Chain A
Amino acid sequence: MNLKKVLSPDAVWVDLKADSKQGVIEEMIDRLVASGKISDRDAVLTAVLEREAKMSTGMQNGVAIPHGKSDSVKSLVAAVGLHKEGVKFDSMDGSPCTIFIMTISPTKRTGPHIQFLAEVSRLISQPAEREKLLAARTHGEIYEILTGK
């Protein structure tokens, strides 16, 4: 899968700042609102939090994949953010999360929504790639690492 088709350079951030689970989710959504990718902030936030309530999307090795479905987006919106210090995210292995992959997908449209999450997860499941990503200093570097292949 070509990640470039889904991920745009203005939706990768190296500097997430919030210090709580809800905070990180809100911050990512706010940034997507600011770049004009999302119009209805509250609807999207509710969708993502509802999904988190069912089961936390904090995985292992510091990776989290918060996502949700909402009709306020017309096509898949994707973002990747880093939080160098790490945030507690109720992850499976209990460790704080540093890499956040977010998707918001329309409820009725078909498309590779979960597949995007899976592809990024697959990429960063390799320790070397994960470390490379965490060492990134600029937004552009993250984008390069994720889409360079």
Chain B
Amino acid sequence: MLKSALVALLFTAASLGAAFAESTETHQGTAQSEIHAAAEAEVPHHHGEISDGHEQHEATHADEHVEEHEAHSITHLMMHLILQLAVIIVAAKIGGYIFQKFLKMPSVLGELASGMVIGPYALGKLIDIPTLGLLFPLNTVHDFAASPQLYGIATLASIILLFLAGLETDLAAFIRYSVVGSFVGLGGLVAAFVIGDLVAVMWPGNGIDSFMDPAALFLGVISVATSVGITARILAEKRKMASPEGVTILAGAVFDDVFGIITLAIVMGMAKVSAGEGVAWGPICMIALKAIGFFVVVTALGLIFSRKITALIKRFKSKDMIVAVCFGLALLLASLAEMAGLAMIIGAYIMGLALSRTDLAHEIEHHLEGVYNILVPIFFCVMGMMVDFIAMKPVLAFGAVYSILAVFSKVVGCGVPAFMMKFNLRGSLRIGLGMLPRGEVALIVAGIGLAGGVIGPEMFGVAIMMTVITTMLAPPLLVKSFEGGSGLRTEMAGGEEDIEVIELEFPSYDITEFLLNRFVRALQAEEFFVHHLHTEQPTYRVLKDDIAFTLVEEDNKLIINVPHANQHVARMILLEELLSLTDLLESTKQMKDVDKMGTDLMQGMFA
């Protein structure tokens, strides 16, 4: 975290420097163009054909033209953009850091909050820079809180975010795992969508009167996507990831991701058709079919040909090239999706999903991490900047109800299927609460709705409010719900709650890290699915058939939380890897004398 804050700081210093240099350059450029304009204004004089009055008018016109030209010149716009980015990156990273470190909340919320603070509806309209004007002016042309160029960068960030989300999807595990998970995911999805849409329709005075109204559809889809990152962190902290509830939540979340994207695709299409009067079911069905068709066909083609395509790309031999070409393909599919009437993020997600099954997935993820860390906070910060507090005032009550129902819809939508399968009330509540937080995808969808004019600034504000409330409510509620006994029904329990904690402490972090990597590789060699979860502590979810356990690296410790019934396999594989350390020690003994190697290395350096 400190590292990325430092990187952000360096990045900002660099862009500030660039903006400053650009500013001096622009002044020089202006001086030059003034001379040029003056020379131009003099041209008619030489011809002596135009009267003095005319001449004066021409000269003033030229001056105005120059000023206008200056304000809109590409360099000037870019300088403004770079300065904005400088402020945004630092503010977003600091906000994220404060939220994560001190408030123990996801950094997304901090990034959003800093956007709200520096945006054009708050401090942004107070920061006036000489020769530049407002730092964050309202984009009056598009009636938008961000300039097209800034929004362009945010869009790129959202594409990267969804591309990586697709890439991290464990499709094989998703297909093989947990019937309960898929019912839970589907239940939550349907309930959240219908309730989110209906509350918009039933609330008086917001101008939405039909279920098929595009704004209502958007409010429905915004409340669908669960952001399971925060739940995963809490499950890991509470050592509950391998519990039946934990496994179900994580499986449900994968389902939620994939089907949330499909729902978005359908709604995007529907919103376009039903923008006119009345509900035209024919075109809507066509659009829905087209959206599902696009998703299924492109994903299937992607999965079938991904290995062939990557084999082709691999001919470049350079990892940088490979990653760049794959990212290029993601951008290509994103724009194709938009052309097909869907959203760009859908295309990016599908490309990620297609590549997730190839051996390049990890490589691409790793290479894009740096870009992700810099760009994605910009996206969230820009989303925060768009929150118009004044526009939100009249809809605060609606926002509160919408948020509360968003809590209710997931708890019930996910809880009921869980209860019908094998969980008791306590377990069902845990699962519902685990699926509660909305995050990245909700924000992206809200942003798309706002940019497309489907929802206004007030509904955008409501969406942000819901995201913030659900994300903040989830951790304390979830922690509280995990107090008490088993979440399984008595007849199902059968000691499943019996989680063994295996702890191994090593003398140094390096050895811990080394053994963790060996263990992960050994598990993969045994054909386990090992899924890396993006939590603060390196955490892995290990799955195979009915075996599920988690692996956490904590300082110099390796902690395995495994159900009692599966402990044999975890212990035995770990033992083999521990023993392989002795092989390594043996082989280091066979190495040339280290002193001698060191001397050879430094030989002649200080001669």
Residues of chain A touching chain B, judged by Cβ–Cβ distance below 8 Å, are 1, 51, 54-55, 65, 110-115, 117-119, 121-122, 125
Contacts and interface: CB of A to CB of B under 8 A. Distances in A.
A125 B568 contact: yes
A110 B572 contact: no
B575 to A, nearest CB: 8
Contacts of A111: 525-527
Given A1-B545, A54-B579, A55-B579, A115 B569 contact: yes
B506 to A, nearest CB: 18
B576 interface: yes
Interface string B370-404: 00000000000000000000000000000000000
Interface of B: 522, 524-527, 544-545, 565, 568-569, 571-573, 575-576, 579, 582
A1 B568 CA distance: 13
6 contacts: A55-B579, A110-B524, A113-B525, A114-B569, A121-B568, A125-B568
Contact of A114 (B545, B565, B576, B582): B576
A119 B527 contact: no
Given A54-B582, A55-B579, A119 B568 contact: yes
A58 B438 CA distance: 51
Contacts of A54: 579, 582
Nearest to B525: A110
A91 to B, nearest CB: 15
Contact of B527 (A65, A110, A117, A121): A110
Contact of A121 (B544, B572, B579): B572
Contact of A118 (B522, B572, B582): B572
Nearest to A121: B568
A114 B579 contact: no
A114 B522 CA distance: 10
The SS class assigned to the B binding surface is: helix
A118 B524 contact: no
A117 B571 CA distance: 11
A3 to B, nearest CB: 13
A121 B569 CA distance: 9
B3 to A, nearest CB: 35
Contact of B526 (A51, A55, A112): A112
B565 A122 contact: yes
Name the 5 nearest CB pairs between A and B, nearest first: A118-B569, A118-B568, A122-B568, A54-B579, A110-B525
A70 to B, nearest CB: 15
A122 B565 CA distance: 8
Contacts of A65: 572
B503 to A, nearest CB: 19
Q: Which of A1, A51, A54 has the most chain B CB within a 10 Å cutoff?
A: A54
Contacts of B524: 110
Contacts of A125: 568
Contacts of B571: 118
A112 B573 contact: no
B542 to A, nearest CB: 12
Given A54-B579, A54-B582, A119-B568, A114 B573 contact: yes
A65 B571 CA distance: 14
B569 A119 contact: yes
A117 B545 contact: no
Contacts of B565: 122
- From B522, B544, B569, B575, residue with most partner A Cβ within 10 Å: B569
A125 B565 CA distance: 11
Contacts of B544: 115
Given A54-B579, A115-B569, 12 more contacts: A1-B545, A54-B582, A110-B525, A111-B525, A111-B527, A113-B526, A118-B568, A118-B572, A118-B573, A122-B565, A122-B568, A125-B568
A115 B574 CA distance: 12
Nearest to B578: A55
A107 B579 CA distance: 16
A132 to B, nearest CB: 19
Contacts of B568: 118-119, 121-122, 125
A65 B569 CA distance: 13
A110 B579 contact: no
Give the residue among B526, B527, B575, B579 with the most A Cβ atoms within 10 A.
B526
A80 B213 CA distance: 68
B572 A112 contact: no
Nearest to A125: B568
A140 B522 CA distance: 33
B156 to A, nearest CB: 38
A113 B572 CA distance: 11
A109 to B, nearest CB: 9
A125 B569 CA distance: 13
A130 B579 CA distance: 28
A5 B73 CA distance: 72
Contacts of A119: 568-569
B526 A117 contact: no
A97 to B, nearest CB: 17
B557 to A, nearest CB: 22
